[in-house]
Amino acid sequence: MEKFNVLWQSTALAHFSAGQLVMMLVGLSLLYLAIVKKFEPLLLLPIGFGALLTNIPLAGFSEAGGILYYIYNVGIDTGVFPLLIFMGVGAMTDFGALIANPRMLLLGAAAQFGIFATLFGAIALNWLPGFSFSLQDASAIAIIGGADGPTAIFLASRLAPELLGAIAVAAYSYMALVPIIQPPIMRALTTPAEREIEMEQLREVSQREKIVFPIAVLLLTILFLPAATPLVGMFCLGNLMRESGVVERLNKTAQNELINIVTIFLGLAVGSKLSAEKFLTVETLGILALGAVAFGIGTATGVLMAKLMSRLSSKKINPLIGAAGVSAVPMAARVVNKVGLEANPHNFLLMHAMGPNVAGVLGSAVAAGVLLALVG
Amino acid sequence: MNSEAISTLLFEASTLLVIGMTFVFLFLTLLIAAINLIAAFCRKFPGHFHTDPKTTLPQAPLPNTDDQPDAKTMAVIGAAVHQYRKKHRLNVKD
């Protein structure tokens, strides 16, 4: 009988807590979203599976000695994984559309209002019982509005590691939901006539400009915002490898093999933070709500800024492209293109939206740097 | 958390909002100026080194209308055959 008891105690069945079961269900629903709904499958699949693994009783994946514990400490605690991802994103990004029309950077800046407004909202949530967000927590939550996964993870790992799981899940879920969240806001803030505006074709950009661009960005960051140089520096390195044309092999590795390998580990490590005691809190609900608000505000301010620019500028600007200012490359630009085509079937806004889109990546990296410098 | 602490935090958050947005705008405006400068520089000095493969590619010769290759092509083929024979002398009986 005693032997039977020992055997029973060594099964997971005897040790499951309710919280672990719920978190396993959360993991399974992330897998469902990734596989069936195809929401950001590259990240939600490893995150969901990581959530399953970390909640197995007795296996200790996320305790000292477990593999997820080491992956987290090596990659996210140090900030290495999000930075490597950022290098790969840099290698995948073509700044041509932005260099051809640099004023689009203002749209990328305007859309960052979502971040700072959410910071305000996160602190205001403290009026409700059950919430106690510090300024650090609030900053890490607010960066969800930057719609940039690696930036959000990097900032959360610096400022509020205990909220990282919820923040990463919120950031990637909302990025997948961009086609659902953005169009109603875009339509509400523009008139049909504005949505039909066709824009001039962009000029061609020489390779020399594209090579000098990342170096110029890095120089400005070094001078004015050293706190953002980890993010911006890795991004510019990736972009220089792409545009210089002399290190094709490194460029290919950065935007394929390396980013894929890091994505697997990043997803697993984020999943390992989805444990019951950290995720099943009222604060997670607050973070999910704030993330949606951040996205909505960012989209709205981007569109409003584009409207303002189109009033003031001599060149025609379709205000829809302002919505792409919330990075989420290239999904937000595709959404702009789609909404534009609904209004005017001959109006292809994709290339015009890529400008504010990549400007948004720079904008959210700069905003992250500001938060790190002032709050961290 | 007491309401006094929250008010202090809210004040800090609003300061962050103003400073943060101002900085983001200033930084990206500076970047606009930098891009325009780079573009102006590239226009003014249109480059001794054209690294863009699309612009450095020589114009493709117009295709021949008759079946016979022209003199230039013949010369190139001749030179290539000569090179080949020189390299592979051991294998070629001539």
- For residue A104, the distance in angstroms to the closest alpha carbon of chain B comes to 9
First to last CA, chain B: 98
Residue A19 lies in a domain: no
**ipTM computed for the complex:** 0.92
Mean pLDDT of B43-66: 57
Question: Which residue from B21, B32, B39 is facing A209, i.e. has the nearest CB?
Answer: B39
Convert the pLDDT of each residue in A22-37 to its tens digit: 999 999 999 999 999 9
CA dihedral angle for residue A38, residue A39, residue A42, residue A45, rounded to 10 degrees:
-90
- For residue A18, the distance in angstroms to the closest alpha carbon of chain B comes to 29
Report pLDDT for A192: 93
pLDDT at B29 over 90: yes
Q: Which domain holds residue A98?
A: 35-54+66-196+204-272+293-375
Question: Which residue from A134, A209, A225 is facing B27, i.e. has the nearest CB?
Answer: A225
| pLDDT band (50, 70, 90) for residue B55 | very low
Residue A60 lies in a domain: no
**B68 phi, psi to nearest 5 deg:** -70, 135
Whether A371 sits inside 8 A of B21 (CB atoms) is: no
CB pairs under 8 A between A and B: 121
Q: How many domains does chain A have?
A: 1
Convert the pLDDT of each residue in A283-305 to its tens digit: 999 999 999 999 999 999 999 99
Which of B16, B30, B37, B44 to probe by mutation at the A interface, max A CB count within 10 Å? B16
Residue A169 lies in a domain: yes
Residue A214 lies in a domain: yes
User: Which residues of chain A are within 8 Å of residue B14 when distances are taken between CB atoms?
Assistant: 120
Which of B24, B30, B48, B50 to probe by mutation at the A interface, max A CB count within 10 Å? B24
Residue A8 lies in a domain: no
Convert the pLDDT of each residue in A313-344 to its tens digit: 988 899 999 999 998 888 999 999 999 999 99
CA distances from A19 to A57, A209, A274 (A): 11, 54, 11
The DSSP secondary structure of B4-32, one letter per residue, reads HHHHHHHHHHHHHHHHHHHHHHHHHHHHH
Report pLDDT for B56: 46
Report pLDDT for B66: 55
User: Which residues of chain A are within 8 Å of residue B34 when distances are taken between CB atoms?
Assistant: 216-217, 220
| pLDDT band (50, 70, 90) for residue B19 | very high
b/e string for B47-62 if b means 16 or more Cβ within 10 A? eeeeebeeeeeeeeee
Question: Which residue from A109, A115, A216 is facing B34, i.e. has the nearest CB?
Answer: A216
Per-chain mean pLDDT for chain A: 94
Whether A116 sits inside 8 A of B21 (CB atoms) is: yes
Report pLDDT for B48: 60
Convert the pLDDT of each residue in B56-65 to its tens digit: 444 455 555 5
Restricting to B residues 47-66, those with a Cβ less than 8 Å away from any Cβ of A are 47, 51-53
Whether B13 sits inside 8 A of A120 (CB atoms) is: yes
Residue A330 lies in a domain: yes
Find, in chain B, the residue whose alpha carbon is nearest to that of A123: B10
Whether A208 sits inside 8 A of B42 (CB atoms) is: yes
If one counts every other C-beta atom within 10 angstroms of the C-beta of residue B14, the result is: 14
CB proximity B19 to A under 8 Å: yes
- For residue A54, the distance in angstroms to the closest alpha carbon of chain B comes to 32
Convert the pLDDT of each residue in A120-130 to its tens digit: 999 999 999 88
Report pLDDT for A116: 95
Which of A133, A370, A371 to probe by mutation at the B interface, max B CB count within 10 Å? A370
Cα A341 from Cα A348, distance rounded (Å): 7
Mean pLDDT of A67-74: 96
Question: Quick one: residue A202, left, alpha or beta (phi over 0 = left, psi -120 to 50 = alpha)?
Answer: beta
Residue A297 lies in a domain: yes
pLDDT at A230 over 50: yes
Angle between helices A135-142 and A350-375 in degrees, nearest 10: 170
Question: Which residue from A105, A224, A366 is facing B32, i.e. has the nearest CB?
Answer: A105
Whether A359 sits inside 8 A of B28 (CB atoms) is: yes
Mean pLDDT of B62-89: 73
CB proximity B8 to A under 8 Å: no
- For residue A120, the distance in angstroms to the closest alpha carbon of chain B comes to 5
Residue A25 lies in a domain: no
